[in-house]
Amino acid sequence: MSNDHPSRLTLPGRRRFLAEAGLGFGTLALSNLLGEEAAAAAAPLAPKSPHYPGKVKSIIWLFMTGGPSQVDTWDYKPELQKRDGQPLAGADPKTGFFTTSGKCLASPFKWAQHGKSGTWVPEIFPYLSRHVDKMCFLHSMHLRQNNHAPASIELMCGTNRPGLPALGAWETYGLGALNSNLPAYVVMHDTRPRGDDQIWSAGFLPKTFQAMALDSRRKEAIDNLARGAGHSDPQQRAQLDLIRELNREHASTRQTQADLAARIDSYELAYRMQMAAPEALDLSRESAMTQAMYGLERPECATFARQCLLARRLVERGVRFVQIFAGKGVAGDGSVGDVPWDCHSDLQSNHRSCGLHTDQPAAALLADLESRGMLDSTLVIWGGEFGRTSDSQGAKGRDHNPNGFTIWMAGAGVKGGLHYGATDPFGYKAVEKKVHVNDLHATLLHMMGIDHLKLTHRFNGRDFRLTDVGGEVLSEILA
């Protein structure tokens, strides 16, 4: 019987073995990297590593819709008080949206100093005045737009161009979500602010990073969240699995349509939220003492109180960015205005009303976060889209003023009791250490561990970033 096959295996030489083995290991590594990229694409809200350790995990922005007057809230000007009715040097009657008198209008409120910082606070903030040593005041904010919608878009998106992503969308794009069962970016509003969806838009980013807007006045704050009667969990899971497969098959031939992937993700998030969201939004789980501290039983501030308490509960559960657009404001004729802090005709009644609506809930939020140890990782921001003129509009009002206004921040990452920048002696224009919105955004991203120069997204052949071609980190305010 002939033996046509050798009985011994012919092994490759050492060099060939190492070369082929190296190729195999390299293929495995490439496969692993591609798998990680595919996983990241499939889970865009998965937590991502920051560029460096950041002190801020979550932001709550109390957006004072309508533009509160800096010289009647946090920027006390004795010179303005002395010169009531006298000509305002350098006044431009067209600074705002209408026309102003060019004559100084003193603040109608009583002011007093509070805290170790000696911060001047008007009488409309009796609760917030107790927390001034936690606050870092930016007195030299300024931007370009002088009307509500474009100014709000500029403040949140970096510039007033349609289709740009807002700060909250950029944050979740850069860092992902901390809780996969809740949206990473939440907006709450009473009346919709002018500019509405553009203020919290995901712009050209994937729609996965779009804010979820909640109507916190209603028991069902999220529409169509509850499972239909007689529809079991296994049935719904099977239905969603089928929808997912059909959507993925549809998307596989339309790879340039990024919104399709976001739509698939939205189904899955909605399913997970059916368990997590009702618990997070259920304020009955809070003690009577906590509800009273926020002012839920007071009609004049109940809506904002509910929103602030919900914000704390959402951040407590890992929501990255919560923005509350303050509602309720009395106009000069006594009616409730749709732009709350907009004080064109009767500054005193308007700001007093807005103070009643926002003061106690905002102060309770700071106290509550601090008592729970959450203020060490949460940054609270208070401010609107611009300030008001130091000269009068009509007899008792103030017009829009984008040239100088105040925003304060409290909590993680900032020095409490610090007053940064300044307006002129009449509070009319920012003159010292001027802060543009690009600088504010660069600083906020820095506190979250993100280098604003490196957070980019390619769109239409260009790399975009929140701070566009500007932005300097305000290192003096960092804790």
* Each residue's pLDDT tens digit, 20-73: 555 555 555 554 544 444 444 457 788 999 999 999 999 999 999 999 999 999
pLDDT confidence bin for 222, thresholds 50/70/90: low
HSE-CB of 288 using CA atoms within 13 angstroms: 0
Is the model more confident about 146 or about 226? Answer: 146
pTM of the model: 0.84
Q: Which residues of 151-168 are buried (b: 16+ CB within 10 A; e: fewer)?
A: bbbbbbbbbbeeebbbbb
Helix (H) or strand (E) holding 356: helix 347-371
CB neighbour list of residue 418: distance below 8 Å, 6 or more residues apart = 117, 136, 137, 476, 477
In this prediction, what percent of the chain has a pLDDT beyond 70? 78
CA–CA distances in Å: residue 60 to residues 280, 285, 417: 16, 21, 19
* Each residue's pLDDT tens digit, 393-417: 999 999 999 999 999 999 999 999 9
Mean predicted confidence (pLDDT) in 263-273? 60
Q: Are 147 and 173 in contact (CB under 8 A)?
A: no
Task: Write down the pLDDT at residue 263.
Answer: 62
pLDDT confidence bin for 278, thresholds 50/70/90: confident
Q: Which structural domains are found in the chain, ordered by start?
A: 47-222+296-477 (3.40.720.10), 226-280 (no CATH)
* Each residue's pLDDT tens digit, 184-211: 999 998 877 877 788 999 999 988 899 9
Task: Write down the pLDDT at residue 342.
Answer: 94
Q: Are strands 405-411 and 119-122 parallel, antiparallel or unpaired?
A: unpaired
